[in-house]
Amino acid sequence: MKPKKSHLSIRDLLSEAAIALTARPGRTLLTAMGTVLGVAALVATLGLAKTAGSQIVSRFNELEATRVLIRPDNRNTGRQDDNQVSLLPWDAGDRLQRLNGVNGAGTKSRVSVNDLIRSVPEADGRNEYQLSVIAVSPGTFEAVRAELLTGRFFDEGHSEGKEPVVMLGLGAARRLNVTRVDNQPAIFIGDVPVAVIGIISDVAREPDLLNAVIVSDGFAREQFGLQAPEEVHVDVDLGAAQLIGTQAPVALAPNEPERLRVSVPSSPRRARSGVESDVNALFLILGGVSLLVGAIGIMNVTLVSVLERRGEIGLRRALGASRSHIASQFLFESAALGALAGVIGTALGVLTVVGVSARQQWTPVIDPWLLLAAPAVGALIGLLAGTYPAWKASATEPIAALRST
Amino acid sequence: MRLPVVELDQVQRVFPGTPPVEALKPADLVIYEGDYVAIVGPSGSGKSTLLHLLGLLDQPTSGTYKLDGIDVSGLSEAERAGVRGRRIGFVFQSFHLLAHRTTVENVMLAELYRKGKPKDRRNRAVAALEQVGLGHRLDAFPTTLSGGERQRVAVARALTGEPSLLLADEPTGNLDSKTTGSVMELFDDLHRDGLTIATITHDSDVSARAQRRIRIQDGQLSEPDSESRAEEAALAGSRVNTGPAS
Ligand SMILES: Nc1ncnc2c1ncn2[C@@H]1O[C@H](COP(=O)(O)OP(=O)(O)O)[C@@H](O)[C@H]1O
Ligand SMILES: [Mg+2]
């Protein structure tokens, strides 16, 4: 007849661990502190990396991934200015506008004006300023996502009629002390009087427009002898950039498309993973080191507690616990401690991500699996840290353990 | 006919070392159901060694030990733990109560290492505490109890689960004479109820209450009152190897 072995249910193990951990809550929390910080650091850094990465990506998406820029390629040919005349047509914007996926397209060219810009009413004692003059086609406003502060954008009619009307960027308007355009105030480009019909408050791209006097292509050709558009700006749908990049040169210069240089955004996915892996690698190392420190903390305190609880270990053996029951009790305790630390650390980490995001006006992004994995990592740390102390506890001889008080 | 609970046959315990200590010289001993045995002897004579062997906390260097007819020498560690938990109740000089648990929780530990519902365990623990006269201190913590009360909690824990054998190592060693009296009366009651008890004691009052006295001197076991019992035991032992199972 084989006698019955002793038995310890999982439920009893759990409740023994819970009792042991709550018996001295202060000590439990101090023991868990290292792991709490490690898990918190891990969650916070992964969460922040992800959050920051998403912010970069979303800005990248909106501005870079939808931008196509076309210039004549002067590097390969060696030929210069006069070739541009034939390369970029004045109606480049209209041609590209017809392509699927293009939201706005237009030309942009610097106009060389040696004269200063003069405003009629004097602003702070002087009324002459060094401001750049830029010629654009009406479609350019959409291509750079210009926002109107007041007045109106000029249109095809103004350009074709070579009318002496201009737009001002907000910076230029302030310099020239132009605040209202309802009576179309006059300014002078050198000696040429022009009427201001609108002020641009902001642009998403080409911020130099904000400090410039903006004239129409037609007026610039007539008045300042502009030879050819310098560049063509295109605002495209998300994901359409690569395709437009191949179609645009053909649309603009069907005979020699290879002589146009097209800038399209690099693949957004690559940009995203690049940002994340850099940040993650550094922070993961930091979190890993904190976890190691946390594990050593749990191991030390559990070892001390095995020594302190020799009497209890002896008693439990006397009550029928086998060596493996003693080992599992200490393993469960340290694993539960680790899991507890993991939960607290996860909460702290999430709070950190949310707090930093609120401050940076970011949208916090946290992988859901992280919320499950982090406490599990804590439990695993506790389990590993408890292995040696648990073995020590199980190796304690009951008669020696009972002799100690 | 009372059945033997403990049968030692040439059981010896030598602690290795330089030189090795023969803490228990080869000894024969039979303890029957309902026996109340006092183990006496000077300090360091081997009393605790004998008690630890009886309680399966230690293993003999040689000899065979049958508990309730089961030869425990050949059992695995986990099986010995099972036998210990079910058939032995221990009472220690220093009580060994867990400080962060109430009286009833301490007693419930007795059944932790066997199957059972917590509610049933609690009921049995409460019954045991009532038996030792502590039914009114169920939720007290050990630090708030007197020495005599603590030892009665320990006795209640040892009684829970109806062991075949109650082993006590100087149970009154930490108590004053008045509380010693109350604990010894409790042992008398338990003996009257038929419990088998072996207790180590220095106290001649205590040993006088016991029905048998076993003396150990330098590891040598003897029973001065009744040398004839050994032969009686040998006779009975051959008949009862299939003794009661629980
Ligand atoms: N674990 C051990 N290792 C070595 N020697 C021991 C051990 N336990 C007890 N002894 C020795 O065995 C002898 C008997 O000890 P013990 O049974 O505790 O005596 P008692 O309980 O009668 O005072 C003593 O000489 C003691 O030093
Ligand atoms: Mg002793």
DSSP assignment of B132-143: TT-TT-TT--GG
Q: Is pLDDT at A275 greater than 80 in this prediction? A: no
Q: Tell me the C-alpha distance between B101 and A19, whole Å.
A: 8
Instruction: Please name the residue that has the structure tokens 């032995």.
Output: B88
The pLDDT value recorded for residue B232 is: 54
Q: Is pLDDT at B236 greater than 50 in this prediction? A: yes
The pLDDT value recorded for residue B239 is: 45
pLDDT range class, residue A86, cuts 50, 70, 90: low
**A54 and A81 inside one domain:** no
**A210 and A300 inside one domain:** no
Higher pLDDT, B242 or A229: A229
Asked whether residue B190 is assigned to any structural domain, the reply reads: yes
Q: Average pLDDT in the A108-136 region?
A: 80
The pLDDT value recorded for residue A315 is: 96
Higher pLDDT, A138 or A64: A138
Asked whether residue A371 is assigned to any structural domain, the reply reads: yes
Range of the domain at A290: 10-59+270-403
Query: Number of helices (H) and strands (E), helices first, in chain B?
Result: 8, 10
**Quick one: B16 exposed, middle or buried, by C-beta within 10 A (0-12, 13-18, 19+)?**
exposed
* Domain end point (choices A225, A251, A266): A266
Q: Is pLDDT at B241 greater than 50 in this prediction? A: no
Q: Tell me the C-alpha distance between B60 and B13, whole Å.
A: 5
Interface membership of B171 toward A (CB under 8 Å): no
Asked whether residue A5 is assigned to any structural domain, the reply reads: no
Q: Average pLDDT in the A62-69 region?
A: 80
Asked whether residue A316 is assigned to any structural domain, the reply reads: yes
**DSSP H stretches of helix in A113-254:** 139-143, 156-160, 170-175, 217-224, 241-252
Q: Which atom of ligand 1 is nearest to the CA of B169?
A: 21
Q: Mind listing the pLDDT tens digit for each residue in B1-25? A: 789 999 999 999 999 999 999 999 9
Substitution target from B54, B71, B84 for chain A, most A beta carbons within 10 A: B84
HSE-up (13 A, CA, CB side) for residue A391: 6
Asked whether residue B111 is assigned to any structural domain, the reply reads: no
* Domain end point (choices A210, A241, A266): A266
ipTM of the complex: 0.90
pLDDT range class, residue A385, cuts 50, 70, 90: very high
**A354 and A244 inside one domain:** no
The pLDDT value recorded for residue A67 is: 87
Q: Tell which A residues from 23 to 62 touch B, by Cβ distance under 8 Å.
A: 23-24
Q: Which residues pair with B212 in a beta bridge?
A: B37
For residue A77, what are its two tokens? 């040919």
pLDDT range class, residue B84, cuts 50, 70, 90: very high
DSSP 3-state helix, strand, coil percentages of chain A (rounded to 5)? 60, 20, 25
Q: Which residues contact B40 (CB under 8 A, 6 or more apart)?
A: B47, B200, B201, B202, B207, B213, B214, B215, B216
Three-state SS across B17-60? Answer: CCCCEEEEEEEEEEEECCCEEEEECCCCCCHHHHHHHHCCCCCC
**A219 and A186 inside one domain:** yes
Phi, psi angle pair for B129, to nearest 5°: -65, -35
Is-contact B223 B212, C-beta < 8 A?
yes
DSSP 8-state symbol, A239: T
* Domain end point (choices A218, A251, A266): A266
For residue A382, what are its two tokens? 């506790």
Q: Which atom of ligand 1 is nearest to the CA of B49?
A: 17
Is-contact A35 A342, C-beta < 8 A?
yes
State whether B82 and A399 contact (CB < 8 Å): no
**A323 and A388 inside one domain:** yes
pLDDT range class, residue A336, cuts 50, 70, 90: very high
The pLDDT value recorded for residue A177 is: 85
The pLDDT value recorded for residue A13 is: 93
Q: Is pLDDT at A206 greater than 70 in this prediction? A: yes
For residue A285, what are its two tokens? 């190392």
Q: Which atom of ligand 1 is nearest to the CA of B51?
A: 17
The pLDDT value recorded for residue B111 is: 94
Out of A122-126, A219-223, B40-44, which region has the weakest mean confidence (pLDDT)? A122-126
Out of A131-135, A342-346, B23-27, B237-241, which region has the weakest mean confidence (pLDDT)? B237-241
Q: How many domains does chain A have?
A: 2
**A351 and A262 inside one domain:** no
Chain B residues in contact with A7 by the CB 8 A cut-off are: 82, 113-115
Q: Is pLDDT at B240 greater than 60 in this prediction? A: no
Instruction: Please name the residue that has the structure tokens 């507890």.
Output: A340
pLDDT range class, residue A265, cuts 50, 70, 90: confident
Interface membership of B114 toward A (CB under 8 Å): yes
Asked whether residue B176 is assigned to any structural domain, the reply reads: yes
Asked whether residue B33 is assigned to any structural domain, the reply reads: yes
pLDDT range class, residue B245, cuts 50, 70, 90: very low
- Whether residue B45 has its Cβ less than 6 Å from ligand 1: yes
Q: Is pLDDT at A272 greater than 70 in this prediction? A: no
Q: Say whether the peptide bond before residue B60 is cis (omega within 30 degrees of 0).
A: no
Separation of CA A96 from chain center = 31
Q: At what angle do helices A368-395 and A25-59 cross, to 10 degrees?
A: 150
Ligand 1 mean position to B87 CA, how many Å? 24
- Candidate from B39, B45, B94, B169 with most ligand 1 atoms within 8 A of CB, to mutate: B45
Is-contact A296 A381, C-beta < 8 A?
no
Q: Is pLDDT at A303 greater than 60 in this prediction? A: yes
State which of A222-226, A328-332, B181-185 shows the largest mean pLDDT. A328-332
The pLDDT value recorded for residue A359 is: 87
The pLDDT value recorded for residue A87 is: 79
Q: Average pLDDT in the A275-302 region?
A: 80
Amino acid identity, residue A63? Answer: L
Asked whether residue B246 is assigned to any structural domain, the reply reads: no
What is the average pLDDT value for chain A, to the nearest integer?
Answer: 86
In Å, what is the CA distance from A119 to each residue of A125, A152, A185, A188, B150? 11, 20, 9, 6, 101
Q: Mind listing the pLDDT tens digit for each residue in A148-204? A: 999 999 999 999 999 999 999 999 998 888 888 888 888 888 888 999 999 999 998
**A128 and A246 inside one domain:** yes
pLDDT range class, residue A115, cuts 50, 70, 90: confident
Asked whether residue B109 is assigned to any structural domain, the reply reads: no
**DSSP H stretches of helix in A114-240:** 139-143, 156-160, 170-175, 217-224
Range of the domain at B181: 4-97+152-240
pLDDT range class, residue A84, cuts 50, 70, 90: very low
The pLDDT value recorded for residue A373 is: 93
pLDDT range class, residue B243, cuts 50, 70, 90: very low
Asked whether residue A392 is assigned to any structural domain, the reply reads: yes
Q: Average pLDDT in the B202-212 region?
A: 85
Give how far A346 is from chain B: nearest CA, Å: 30
Share of chain A above pLDDT 90, in %: 50
Chain B residues in contact with A5 by the CB 8 A cut-off are: 78-79, 81-82
Asked whether residue A171 is assigned to any structural domain, the reply reads: yes
**DSSP H stretches of helix in B37-176:** 47-54, 77-87, 103-108, 118-131, 147-159
Out of A169-183, A270-284, A381-395, B143-157, which region has the weakest mean confidence (pLDDT)? A270-284
Q: Average pLDDT in the A359-374 region?
A: 88
Edge-to-edge strands, sheet with B62-67: B21-32, B4-15, B62-67, B70-71
Is-contact B26 B1, C-beta < 8 A?
no
**A274 and A378 inside one domain:** yes
Share of chain B above pLDDT 90, in %: 79
Chain A residues in contact with B46 by the CB 8 A cut-off are: none
Substitution target from B43, B113, B120 for chain A, most A beta carbons within 10 A: B113
Q: How many domains does chain B have?
A: 1
The pLDDT value recorded for residue A41 is: 87
B101: three-class secondary structure by DSSP: coil
A186: three-class secondary structure by DSSP: strand
Helix (H) or strand (E) holding A192: strand A192-202
Asked whether residue A113 is assigned to any structural domain, the reply reads: yes
Q: Which residues pair with A232 in a beta bridge?
A: A70, A107
Q: Which residues contact A295 (CB under 8 A, 6 or more apart)?
A: A34, A35, A381, A382, A384, A385
Q: Tell me the C-alpha distance between A218 and A107, whole Å.
A: 12
Q: Average pLDDT in the A27-35 region?
A: 90
Asked whether residue B76 is assigned to any structural domain, the reply reads: yes
**A165 and A301 inside one domain:** no
Q: Any idea what the CATH number is for the domain that residue B11 is in?
A: 3.40.50.300
Asked whether residue A191 is assigned to any structural domain, the reply reads: yes
**DSSP H stretches of helix in A309-395:** 310-318, 323-360, 368-395
Separation of CA A21 from chain center = 41
Asked whether residue A4 is assigned to any structural domain, the reply reads: no
Q: Average pLDDT in the A257-269 region?
A: 76
Q: Mind listing the pLDDT tens digit for each residue in B19-51? A: 999 999 999 999 999 999 999 999 999 999 999
Amino acid identity, residue A8? Answer: L
**Quick one: B28 exposed, middle or buried, by C-beta within 10 A (0-12, 13-18, 19+)?**
middle
Instruction: Identify which of B160, B168, B147 has the alpha carbon closest to the alpha carbon of residue B105.
Output: B160
Q: Tell me the C-alpha distance between A396 and A160, whole Å.
A: 98
A200: three-class secondary structure by DSSP: strand
State whether B112 and A12 contact (CB < 8 Å): yes
The pTM score is 0.69
Asked whether residue B129 is assigned to any structural domain, the reply reads: no
